[in-house]
Amino acid sequence: MRLTWFGHSSVRLEAGNQVIYIDPYAGPDSWYTPGSLILVSRFDFDHCSLEKIRRASNDGTVVLGTSEVARAVFPSQVMHPGESRMFDGVEIVGMPCINPHVDRRNVAERESAVGFVIVAEKKTVYYMADSDFFPQIDAMRPDVLLISVGGTYTAAAKEAAQIAGAVSPKLAIPIHWGSIVGTRDDALLFSELANLPVKILEPGEVLEI
């Protein structure tokens, strides 16, 4: 499995026969070529660029996201927390996204955002999106945890380190920093405070999992 961080919250995963984009927004357009799956955690500009989705899509691409994403992107499908889908040996599981940092007066947060667990090649990657701690994530122990650390709209570094400790991954990768909110200092502080292995990626850097 190969993971590439494009910056902010944008990730590309290559697993089995699948090329998966998560929250396509960051990085140059040339980094986006047609993939098999596009996962969108929320319909916000910094998680869902329609131009990037267009570039990452062809006739066979499946787009999964929230109901807001499904209304804005055609064709696409709604992914609910707790739901599991199989795609040629790759399992995608929807996860709750609990975020007290974002004001959602008219829409429940659990309906406007979703996290993703990707299971492939006997590895598990948990993309928390903008979520904070919730009881079900205690001791999940995925191989890789992608966790937001930038603060303002998500947990900041100290809180994220505590959340990562509850999840207990083999490796944590800080995201949601370096452009709109958060700095490399936030990623470094997370790395210092988290009592587990951490890898800070540069935009475009590839990691073999």
Q: Are 98 and 110 in contact (CB under 8 A)?
A: yes
- pLDDT of the residue at 75: 93
Q: Which of 103, 115, 187, 195 is nearest to 151 (CA)?
A: 187
Q: What distance in Å separates the CA atoms of residue 155 and residue 54, rounded to the nearest whole number?
A: 30
pLDDT at residue 16, rounded to an integer: 83
Asked if residue 205 is part of any domain, the answer here is: no
Q: Are 19 and 189 in contact (CB under 8 A)?
A: no
Number of domains the chain contains = 1
Structural tokens at position 4: 């590439």
Quick one: CA dihedral 1, 170, 122, 118, positive or negative?
negative
> Is 135 part of a structural domain of the chain?
yes
Distance of alpha carbon 166 from the chain centroid: 18
CA triple 140-145-13, angle to 5 deg: 120
- Residue-by-residue pLDDT tens, the chain, 209 positions: 999 999 999 999 999 889 999 999 999 999 999 999 999 999 999 999 999 999 999 999 999 999 999 999 999 999 999 999 999 999 999 999 987 776 543 444 444 899 999 999 999 999 999 988 777 777 789 999 999 999 888 999 999 999 999 999 999 999 999 989 999 999 999 999 999 999 999 999 999 99
For 105, the domain range is 2-199
Beta-strand ranges (E) seen in 8-149 are 10-15, 18-22, 37-39, 62-65, 77-78, 84-87, 90-95, 115-120, 123-127, 144-148
Instruction: Supply the pLDDT for residue 103.
Output: 53
Q: State the pLDDT at residue 198.
A: 98
Residue 113 lies in a domain: yes
Give me the pLDDT at residue 102, please: 62
Q: Looking at the domain assignment, is residue 191 inside a domain?
A: yes
- Flag whether 122 is in a domain: yes
Please give the pLDDT value at position 108: 43
Residue 135 CA to residue 28 CA, distance in Å, equals: 37
- The model's pTM: 0.93
Which tokens is 150 given? 């930038």
Identify residue 173 by its one-letter amino acid code. I
Task: Report the CATH number that the domain containing residue 76 is assigned in CATH.
Answer: 3.60.15.10
- Cα–Cα distance measured from residue 97 to residue 25, given in angstroms and rounded to the nearest whole number: 19
Whether the CB-CB separation of 189 and 158 falls below 8 Å is answered with yes
Residue located via tokens 């008219």: 106
CB atoms within 10 A of CB 97: 24
